[in-house]
Amino acid sequence: MPNHANINVPNLYDNWTYQVMLNVPTFVRSEVQHLVILYNKGQTTAATDNLSWPIFLDL
Could you report the per-residue pLDDT of 32-56, keeping only the tens digit for each? Answer: 878 877 777 666 665 555 556 565 5
Residue 1, in any domain of the structure: no
Q: How many domains does the structure of the chain reveal?
A: 1
How many angstroms separate the most distant Cα atoms in the chain? 58
What residues contact residue 46 under an 8 Å CB cut-off, 6+ apart?
A: 36, 39, 40
User: CB–CB of 51/25 below 8 Å?
Assistant: yes
Instruction: Label residue 51 exposed, middle or buried (CB < 10 Å: 0-12, 13-18, 19+).
Output: middle
Domain that holds residue 26: 8-58
Residue 3, in any domain of the structure: no
Please give the model's pTM, rounded to 2 decimal places: 0.46
Residue 51, in any domain of the structure: yes
Residue 33, in any domain of the structure: yes
Residue 36, in any domain of the structure: yes
Length of the chain: 59
Residue 2, in any domain of the structure: no
Residue 24, in any domain of the structure: yes
Residue 13, in any domain of the structure: yes
CA dist., res. 7 & res. 23, Å (int): 26
